[in-house]
Amino acid sequence: MRLKTSSGAALAAAALLATAACVSDSTAENTSDSALSGSGAGEECAIEETVKLGAVFSLTEAAAFAGAYQQEGLELAIEELNASGDITYELILEDDKTSVEDSVAAFEKLIDRDKVSAIIGPTLSNMAFVTYTDSQSAGVPTLGVSTTAEGIPDIGDYIFRASLPEEVALAASIPAAKETLGMQQVAVLHDSADEFTASAYNTISDVLADEGIEVVVDETFETTDTDFSAQLTKILDADVDAVILSALPGATVPLVTQARDLGIEAPIVGGNAFNSPVLVGALGDAAEGLIVGGAWSAAAETTGNAEFIAAYTEKYDRAPDQFAAQAYTAGYLIDQAVRSDCDANREAIKDNLGQILEYDSILGKISLDEGGEVTQEPVVQIIRDGAFTLL
Ligand code: 1QQ
């Protein structure tokens, strides 16, 4: 529709209408759209209106190593879902450029302008702690696929994650590394400027204490640092059995490279950012022996995993990684939540996401509870000959 007049009264009326629309949008109960509620149950569910799903990933800048795979994994799931049933999903994808400001703007656009039924993402916990308050106050169910820091689901009852918490991954990887490496004395290095790496540090300290492993060097750095010689020299002098590193890839590559150049040969135990072939490729030989806990393995014989890997590789001409696998799974989890009551309204998706029990996914059996937390088995992998291998 085109407005022919631009009189003050018409503009004022339009502004009032816009305000009224905004207010009602922020109240979950008022957003119910009957065309988003279909007929039939489960696999038979048919919904007339196209279901809009938003996704916010870091497609450029520092976290693009994960965001690009997330885009591919989620797009593959949406394509498969659209081809297989009577629900049509439209994915509206936004790039937060690895920036908190852009992530907030993307969430606001998806919530207010696109009026999506649910949001998937963002890539980093650092953005999630800010953007999820918007989802929560607008009543938009939001499903993280790589937001692993402590406390994310506590932001509110619209916030969920299908991303293995770092606490769970480290509680598996550190004992496995202890057993494999006979680890008794370690150095811990962590990025104190990022929510995910700082929260992981707390878990690392707890797990090391529980395992009776002594921390002989405990050093910090910040996300954008490039020179780690001061910290690394202390590690070299201490002669540790392993280095536990909590870092994003931007710092990991120079840090690990400088460590090896300096002569530190101790194996490295890393966090979630290490679950990336991009990072392993960038590190080359310096990545050998690295141990990491995660949510997915190419070697796992989980339901549909081999088919997922084949379809993904065929479509994108490269193998998937954990970030792709988690985003792919998220598409199916949202679809499960929609099919439960054959209803793609925000409120129904929120209620049903919190009821997903042992869904058989490529990540293994996965459950989401009302509190938004995920339950799944972690895997521990080691880099051998440049490839992830189950430990
Ligand atoms: C987080 C993470 C990152 C490493 C994902 C890319 O786990 O920010 O929570």
Block means of pLDDT (10 residues each) for the chain, 391 residues, are 31 35 42 88 95 98 96 98 96 98 98 98 97 98 97 97 96 97 96 95 97 98 96 96 94 95 95 93 93 97 98 98 98 98 98 98 97 97 94 93
Distance CA 127, CA 137 (A): 16
pTM of the model: 0.91
Per-residue model confidence (pLDDT) at position 182:
93
Per-residue model confidence (pLDDT) at position 23:
33
Tokens of 391: 């430990």
Choices 3.40.50.2300, 3.40.50.12780, 3.40.50.1100, 3.30.499.10: CATH for 7-164+303-377? 3.40.50.2300
Per-residue model confidence (pLDDT) at position 15:
35
Does the C-beta of 66 come closer than 6 Å to ligand 1? yes
Instruction: Tell me the domain boundaries of the chain.
Output: 7-164+303-377, 167-294
Per-residue model confidence (pLDDT) at position 28:
47
Does the C-beta of 272 come closer than 6 Å to ligand 1? yes
Atom of ligand 1 nearest to the CA of 276: 6
CATH number of 167-294: 3.40.50.2300
Does the C-beta of 273 come closer than 6 Å to ligand 1? yes
Does the C-beta of 59 come closer than 6 Å to ligand 1? no
Nearest partner of 142 among 333, 367, 385, judged by Cα:
333
Name the residue with tokens 């809009």. Answer: 52
Tokens of 114: 């696109």
**Which string of b and e fits 197-224 if b means at least 16 CB within 10 Å?**
bbbbbbbbeebbeebebeebbbbbbeee
Q: Which amino acid residue places its CA nearest to atom 4 of ligand 1?
A: 273
**Residue 247 CA, ligand 1 centroid: distance in Å:** 9
104: enclosing H helix or E strand: helix 100-108
In this structure, the chain runs to a length of: 391
Q: 7-164+303-377 with 167-294: one CATH topology?
A: yes
**Residue 248 CA, ligand 1 centroid: distance in Å:** 8
Per-residue model confidence (pLDDT) at position 31:
62
Per-residue model confidence (pLDDT) at position 14:
36
End-to-end CA separation in angstroms for the chain:
61
Does the C-beta of 129 come closer than 6 Å to ligand 1? no
Does the C-beta of 70 come closer than 6 Å to ligand 1? no
